[in-house]
Every structure is written in C-alpha cells, then in structure tokens.
Amino acid sequence: MAQSCMDNETRREVSQWLLKGQRDLDVADLLSKSKPPYLDVAAYHCQQAAEKALKGYLTAQDINFPKSHDLVFLLGLAMETEARFRQWQQLAETLTPYATMFRYPGPIGEPPREEITGIIIQVESFVQFVRELLINT
C-alpha cells in the first residue's frame, strides 16, 4: 500500500479488509479440497474474499460504500477511480449470487468442483490485482 496516500488508521483498516479477505480465500481453498469437500461453503467464501478485497480498495481510495454484498455494484464504485476493474466484471457477476445462493436450504445443490476450483483461481488473481493496485497508488 502506498505510504503517502493513507493515514495510519486508514492503512490499518485496509490491511484488515485484505487480511479478512485472504482468510476467506484460504478457507475456500481448504473447504474445496477437504474430504468430503464443502463446495457450497467454499463458494460463499470466494464471494466474501472478493468483496473484502474490493472494500479494502474502496477504503484506501476514501470511497464511501453502503453495506452491500453486490460485487457488481462495488466494482462499479471502484471503476470510478480505476478503469482496469472492468476486466473483473464477469467474475463479479458470477460471484454476487454466491453471497446467499448456497447459505440456506433450497433447490440449488452444491456447485460443481470444477467451477469452484476455477473460481478460486480467479479470486486469487483478483485479490492479487487489488494488492498490486494498492502498492502502486
């Protein structure tokens, strides 16, 4: 993270968003590989990892955001200061429903393992993208 752009309190808050998001991503990976795998819960944690990375970026940019799990909306806020977020639009559209889709009983079963494996890789790339932006701003 750029040292000159943020005060210490903001820097700590951004670090906490990124730490919590990384933990979600780590848990998603563990759950997807456990025996048996918990792919529905892994999907939720993938969404949470991306959401927290986005909220860390928005916090660093001093962009206010409402309490929301809508990654498309949050990505739109981020695009106001960084157009390269547009490349993540499809991922945001895929992940947004994961905030609630698998959390409660219903007709939707677990997502396929291949889907979650691919999503984890994409979210890892997204989180790295956000970290690099924060280092270079």
How do residues 47-87 score in pLDDT, each as one tens digit? 999 999 999 999 999 999 999 999 999 999 999 999 999 99
Q: How far is the C-alpha of 48 from the C-alpha of 27, rounded, in Å?
A: 11
Query: How confident is the model at residue 2, as a pLDDT?
Result: 42
**Residue 30 CB contacts under 8 Å (≥ 6 apart), including other chains:** none
- pLDDT the model gives residue 1: 47
Q: pLDDT > 90: what percent of the chain?
A: 84
Q: pLDDT at residue 115 above 80?
A: yes
Q: What angle do CA 64, 42, 46 make, to 5 degrees?
A: 30
- What per-residue confidence (pLDDT) applies to 22? 98
The yes or no reply on domain 8-103+110-136 and CATH 3.20.20.70 is: no
Average pLDDT in the 83-104 region? 94
| pLDDT in the model for residue 134 | 94
pTM of the model: 0.92
